[in-house]
Structure 1
Amino acid sequence: MKKHFRMIAILATLMLLLGSLAGCGSNQAQGSNSGTGAAAADFPKKNFEFIVPMGAGGGSDVFCRTLVKTVDDNKLCPTTITIVNKPGGSGSIGWSYVAKDHKGNPYELSTVSSSFYTGPISGQSPVSYKDFTHIIAVAEDPTLLVVPANSPYQTMEQLLEAAKAKPDSISAGGSSGLSMDAVVFYALSESAGVQMKYVPFAGGGETMTAVLGGHVTFGFLGPSEAAAQIEAGKMRALAVSTEDRAGGLLADVPTLKEIGHDVVLSQLRGVVAPADIPQEAVDYLHDMFKKAVDTPAWKEFVANNFMEEEIMGPEEFLKASEKQSEMYAKYLDKIE
């Protein structure tokens, strides 16, 4: 009987030991999973710098500030995102700062515009879309051709007739010589068979001031830049560069294509970061900005500024950049 009880005691001890080992294995597995979660949760640990490579008040600036404000208002980021304007060189100064000086740094962000593509094509920028991690594209932004309210030109046709009658008498203001504004200007000039002067400015804010002050005959502005002035009756839109007409306040504004000029261009809006950032950072940033653009406040901004929502993930955004680059290469020879 004693021998029997001794065997039972030994078996019980073995079972307890095996249970203890299984528990350790389970704890180790949970610890490993917890570690993976902790690694993902480690990002972000620092504040972000969001570089706008254009001047304050322009379309890119308004876009970025509104996007970051939406993130802040909805508490989507545990750290601070600070907007920093670094204009110059048609955007090349700001983009070089992000891509070359901060390669691999997920805390440096920027946006894209037409000169993001035209700069490297023309040899004016040392970096191209290939030097960036594409995070998310969120909208397409058309270009408006606008005049001050006191302009004698009520239609684009009238303005072009005046340009044809007196070469170089008409001047146009727009962002930098390598912007979408300039591409549209030269393509339109060629299509209409007219000779006009193009005056480049650091950004949409300066262009708007020049148009309102009568320093140029007409100007190229994004809807987000021009909408308030149009609503206030200080500015009039004569044409839009998209395939189809915009809605709302701009419903009566014809496209360039409608008035006989096959010039169709729009500007992609999105967020990029330097190349070689960790995948967990790409995923986090994409999800964060995706949540922001899904909010009612952001959708209202897009609608009020006559943008077209165009959400793309990293891979699709990169492919879109390739197509944008090809498109601008096609038009860039129009720029003198």
Structure 2
Amino acid sequence: MHHRTKRRTLRALTALLAATALYAGAAQAAGYPERPINLIVSYGPGGGTDLVARMMAPFLQKYLGGDARIVVLNRPGAGGAIGFTELARAQPDGYTIGFINTPNLLTIPIERKSGFSWQSYDLLGNLIDDPGAFTVLQDSPLKTLSDLSAYARQNPGKATVGTTGTGSDDHLAMLRFERASGTTLSHIPYKGAGEVRGALAGGEITTGAINVGEALQYQKGGTPLRFLGQMGKARAAELPDVPTFKEQGYDVELASLRGLAAPKGLPEAVRAKLVDAVKRTVDDPGFQAKARDMYAPLRYLPPAAYAQELAAGEAEFRKLWQAAPWLDK
């Protein structure tokens, strides 16, 4: 065969293969989803992520179209590592997606060997940005963060703080507060915010490190919680009377990003369909109204901006780990 003819044949073959692959991908996306999609939540039922996942599922189903049905699977434990690992190892076919939560997603791979990093996923978009907070029961004598730090000084080992696990945003918030206040608090880890709320309501712990949105929801549900302070950059619209940690003289700022991701390597057309469905869900006025009712502070980030934010967060936590490792002694 002549060289030129050989080249032409090769070119035609390459084009045919590319077209076939494209067609297969498009066919896959056109038919997608053809069976239920599992949505992994790495925390227990009743926590902020779980409640948002269940509220969001019908919207995501609507925008994915076809036979979309979303099944929420709770995989709690190890500060989120069990669920994050399962999500990272799942088939990248669009039938397993999940919530990824900072800072746990970023801190766990820094503190111990783990089966994931934030780069193990195809990011689909961030939905929520929920500041950390310290809460007590309404009848607690503690009214401010300085009350808490004075109490911790006077009662060594008695100032207990419930969190959603070692290396969680709540735990890091507690450690940052210890450093900023020069006090020592006793860390009590739980499997999710729902358990922390229960422990606080039952009088088992002095303080609950519970994110703003979750705490507001528990208040609405009848748990008599009071805020000592919240860790946003500024006061929250929902909490105009609650001062930030910074306003109270403690340089602590921390929030939890909660977004959707899939195992890395999704077919491009399936990825595009999921990213689009997430964006349309966040833009839906019905979804926004429900998020407001649940006190879920929305902050949409498309995949590229989300990746930037995760990379910056990871760099910050690496610095923090070198300065002061946060594993429990």
Cross-structure match for 2:211 = 222
List aligned pairs for 1:177-326, cutoff 5 A: 177-231=166-220, 232=222, 234-248=224-238, 250-326=239-315
Q: Distance in 1 between matches of 2:62 and 2:194?
A: 25
Cross-structure match for 2:9 = none
User: What are the ranges of 5 or more consecutive residues in structure 1 without an aligned counterpart?
Assistant: 1-32
Instruction: Give the one of 50, 63, 67 matched to 1:78.
Output: 67
C-alpha deviations, 1:94-148, integer Å up to 9, x for none? 1211212x14232111111121111111115221111111011122111121001
Cross-structure match for 2:157 = 168
Q: Distance in 2 between matches of 1:291 and 1:34?
A: 25
Cross-structure match for 2:17 = none
Q: Distance in 1 between matches of 2:320 and 2:293?
A: 29
Q: Distance in 2 between matches of 1:47 and 1:256?
A: 43
Q: Distance in 2 between matches of 1:34 and 1:327?
A: 43
The count of residues paired between Structure 1 and Structure 2 equals 302
Cross-structure match for 1:109 = 97
Q: Distance in 2 between matches of 1:36 and 1:61?
A: 32
Letter in 1 for 2:287: W
Segment of structure 1 superposing worse, 112-121 or 295-304: 295-304
User: What are the ranges of 5 or more consecutive residues in structure 2 without an aligned counterpart?
Assistant: 1-21
Cross-structure match for 1:62 = 51
3-state SS of paired residue (2:87) = helix
Offset of residue 161 of structure 1: 1.1
C-alpha deviations, 1:141-197, integer Å up to 9, x for none? 111210011211122221111112222220000101110001000010111000110
3-state SS of paired residue (1:290) = helix
Q: Distance in 2 between matches of 1:306 and 1:50?
A: 21
TM-score (norm. length: structure 2):
0.85
1:37 and 1:85, CA in 2 relative to 1: closer, same or farther beyond 3 A? closer
Cross-structure match for 1:139 = 128
Q: Distance in 2 between matches of 1:121 and 1:262?
A: 23
3-state SS of paired residue (2:260) = strand
Q: Determine if contact 1:171/1:198 at 8 Å carries over to the other structure.
A: yes
Letter in 1 for 2:99: T
Q: Determine if contact 1:187/1:331 at 8 Å carries over to the other structure.
A: no
Q: Determine if contact 1:186/1:334 at 8 Å carries over to the other structure.
A: no
1:327 and 1:245, CA in 2 relative to 1: closer, same or farther beyond 3 A? same
Cross-structure match for 1:152 = 141
Q: Distance in 2 between matches of 1:229 and 1:290?
A: 28
Offset of residue 271 of structure 1: 0.2
Bigger Rg over Cα: 1
C-alpha deviations, 1:23-48, integer Å up to 9, x for none? xxxxxxxxxx9998655412222210
Letter in 1 for 2:37: F
1:257 and 1:334, CA in 2 relative to 1: closer, same or farther beyond 3 A? farther
Q: Distance in 2 between matches of 1:301 and 1:334?
A: 38
C-alpha deviations, 1:49-88, integer Å up to 9, x for none? 0011111111221222222133347785632110000112
1:170 and 1:283, CA in 2 relative to 1: closer, same or farther beyond 3 A? same
1:304 and 1:260, CA in 2 relative to 1: closer, same or farther beyond 3 A? farther
Q: Distance in 2 between matches of 1:47 and 1:309?
A: 26
Q: Determine if contact 1:223/1:305 at 8 Å carries over to the other structure.
A: no
TM-score (norm. length: structure 1):
0.84
3-state SS of paired residue (1:297) = helix
Offset of residue 313 of structure 1: 1.7
